[in-house]
Structure 1
Amino acid sequence: MLYNKRGAYRRFAFLLLAVVLLAATATACGKKKNEESSGSPTASASASATASIDPDTVLATYDGGELKQAEFAKYEAFMNVTNPQYAMYLSIPQYKEEIVKQYLLQKAFAARATDAQKKAGKDQADAFKKQLDDALKDATNGPQIKESMKTNNITEDEMVALVVTLATGGEITTAKETEIKATIKDADIKAEFDKEPADYNVDTVRHILVAFTDPATNKERADADALKRAQDVKKKLDDGGDWTALAKEYSDDTGSKENGGLYEKTQAKTWVEEFKKAANTQAIGVIGDPVKTDYGYHVIKVEAREEASYDKLSQTDKDAIVSALVSPKMETFMQEETDKLGIKVTLPAEPSPSPSASGSAAPSASSSAPASSSASSK
């Protein structure tokens, strides 16, 4: 199914800390041997690229100091070990420049933290250390983590020290977020809901996707060909064809083709605009004309629709609206604080990737949104 992608200030590195705290035990370096043999960039590949830059190279200057490669390499190594999917963004220059700024901002935040915030950061670092210690003792994951730490030239003490900085800096941001949330009233939440109340409808739909890429051949389908195939599917369904059989045969949505194309009780706002509109407006029980999205043509049947109203809105949905209202204000706060530092990034040219890693230098779609022929990006 097609899901909307959302960007928010949560992309900042410090807010990935919750992931980092669990990463050592959950991912065991984030790589299985079959992934390493498939040509995906591994932690060791990232480490070798980092090692090729002179440790004294200045990556950025800012009000109060400069950031050298020797220091930032430890942050890169830390991410290679604990959160390799995020670390892959460091292989893309424009992302790396942004991450350098984020890292310096966290240092600045940590430096001005209150005693209470420093204690909270230290407590989080202690929790991380315990999890890492436990992971290193684990017979299955421990050897991989130790090897990754060795390859990336980072010690446990260095990792814990980085968590102290990131967690303490994160306390500043948490405090600001709490401050902003306190200004948002119920009337603000309702006003936001009233902009698109149908977004909160709960719909049950069946659909068959004819994608613009044929998964059997990996070749592109012309728009007209995809539409014709979708129209043929619709006719078969109108003539009494079985959804289960036809979805298995025709649907390119791997997320639903095995269960008759069914998506049950799904909130409409999670879908891309064209699909959402169809789910919210098509007559119930009627198979609509093919609906075009960026992924292809969808033959859709709405089986049920629960109309949303503010008085029945769940607390979870209200909290999501609050987050949506907070996000742009936090973005502004983060940008203003970054600007105050006067950061000037001067990254050196990246070394050419080795032939074994060049096929997937960019971060995988799964690092931010799992992608597949099912179009289940979120």
Structure 2
Amino acid sequence: MQLIKKWVAGVLTMMLLLSVAIVGCNDENKKEEANNEQNQMQQFKPLSTESKKVMAEYKGGKVIEGDLNRYINIIAFLDPQLAYMLASAEGNTELRVELAKEYASRQYMLTQIKNDSSYVKQADQTLKELDASIKGNAAQAQAQGQDTPKSLEEAIKGKGFTSDELRQFFIEYHRVNRYYDDQLKGKTYDYVKVQHILVAINDGSQQDQPKRTADDAKKRAEEVKKKLNAGEDFSKLVKEYTDDPGSKETNGIYEGTPDQFVPEFAKACRELPLNQVSAPIKTDYGYHIVKVLDRGQKPVEKANEQVKMQKRQEVYEQVVKEKLEFKSLLSVPQKG
């Protein structure tokens, strides 16, 4: 049951950074199982919220184990994919330290944003929409002979938090969102609009891609380049040649910041003259034919969600480095 990932995405920017710690105990191949969200939820067992143990200290506060566990429980409820990844949180000290750091940063940000009734109203609206989403899912499931929770209250039973605690989470979510927005107000980012065709290299392990050697991919990319040089339409060739499912339906176009791409592709985004078709560019994915349509500085507030998440990540890292004074009281096993 997919719930409201869009609402937690902003405030949980740093959950994406936990992949380094998570991968240490969750094999990368298990990501394919993420398509079945119900199974993901079964992987996560709500953590106890009774412990008063101090897990970490930071400027102005402490991370209490029970509070952190409640926070993890709520995240797992709201996003089944994260629930799957967080299934090992209780026994993974390294992961718990990273979670404690993210939680502490959140608490620090709350001290910088004055609370008022507007955040309560926003939280209540979020809960209202969540409840409506659950009821809508229940109606569809019932029509198919399936049994799912029929309300928010029913859905959170046994999940390790109360409805009041969920409401407080969303109040704080909107306040933390405001902190990020304030920090990024007036900021700009390196914008690029790029069109490309990917000719993939595939040894056969990726069933959704044609099997192709590096030499074959390069030859095919050079064929595309020749056709473009001869004046053929880029968008038409995208439909015929590209192996990139992420951009095939948008005529091969991506918009964002060069930093979101792999290094070789990012370099082309930064340096290739506008509207000039590149020679084949090799990356881990294969060979790309690239044309930069536009680049420049744009306001972060008008960026797409991927760029905003990246910029919020930078804000988070600045908080941790310059403001938080985070000190874990847990012993992390040494690697190697």
Fold in common (TM above 0.5):
yes
| 1:178-197 pair list within 5 angstroms | 178=182
Aligned mates of 1:132, 1:326 — CA distance in 2: 24
Aligned mates of 2:286, 2:280 — CA distance in 1: 9
CA contact (8 A) 1:60 1:347 kept: no
Report deviation, 1:296. 1.0
The residue that corresponds to 1:344 in the other structure is 329
Aligned mates of 1:254, 1:237 — CA distance in 2: 21
1:140 aligns with 2:129: no
| 1:77 aligned residue (73, 76, 81) | 73
Aligned mates of 1:318, 1:67 — CA distance in 2: 34
The residue that corresponds to 1:122 in the other structure is 120
Aligned mates of 2:294, 2:105 — CA distance in 1: 45
1:251 aligns with 2:237: no
* SS, match of residue 42 in structure 1: helix
Max radius of gyration: which structure?
A: 1
* SS, match of residue 299 in structure 1: strand
* SS, match of residue 157 in structure 2: helix
The residue that corresponds to 1:156 in the other structure is 163
Report deviation, 1:150. 2.4
CA contact (8 A) 1:201 1:268 kept: yes
Aligned mates of 2:313, 2:70 — CA distance in 1: 30
CA 1:272–1:288: 2 relative to 1, 3 Å = same
Report deviation, 1:224. 3.6
Aligned mates of 1:201, 1:217 — CA distance in 2: 28
Letter of the 2:77 partner, please give it: V
Letter of the 1:90 partner, please give it: L
CA 1:147–1:119: 2 relative to 1, 3 Å = closer
Q: Deviations over 1:28-77 (max 9, x none)?
A: xxxxxxx8884875223212xx45x79548471436656234x4332222
Q: Deviations over 1:285-314 (max 9, x none)?
A: 7x65321123211234x4x84575xxxx66
CA contact (8 A) 2:274 2:294 kept: no
RMSD over aligned Cα, in angstroms?
Answer: 5.0
- Structure 1 unaligned runs (5+)? 1-9, 17-34, 194-198, 349-378
1:335 aligns with 2:334: no
CA contact (8 A) 1:59 1:345 kept: no
Letter of the 2:97 partner, please give it: E
Aligned mates of 1:317, 1:99 — CA distance in 2: 27
CA contact (8 A) 1:211 1:226 kept: yes
Q: Which has the higher contact order (CA 8 A, sep 6+)?
A: 1
CA 1:225–1:154: 2 relative to 1, 3 Å = same
Letter of the 2:101 partner, please give it: K
| 1:268-283 pair list within 5 angstroms | 269=258, 271-275=261-265, 277-278=267-268, 281=272
Aligned mates of 2:252, 2:35 — CA distance in 1: 36
* SS, match of residue 73 in structure 1: helix
The residue that corresponds to 1:102 in the other structure is 102
- Structure 2 unaligned runs (5+)? 1-8, 16-32, 141-148
Aligned mates of 2:236, 2:265 — CA distance in 1: 22
The residue that corresponds to 1:13 in the other structure is 12
Letter of the 2:75 partner, please give it: M
Q: Deviations over 1:52-105 (max 9, x none)?
A: x79548471436656234x43322221122233344443464444222222234
CA 1:336–1:160: 2 relative to 1, 3 Å = same
TM-score normalized by the length of structure 1: 0.54
Letter of the 1:72 partner, please give it: L
CA contact (8 A) 1:106 1:170 kept: no
Letter of the 1:296 partner, please give it: G
Percent of pairs with identical residues? 23
Q: Deviations over 1:246-271 (max 9, x none)?
A: 65564311234467x5438x567465
TM-score normalized by the length of structure 2: 0.59
The residue that corresponds to 1:46 in the other structure is 44
Paired residues, what number? 286
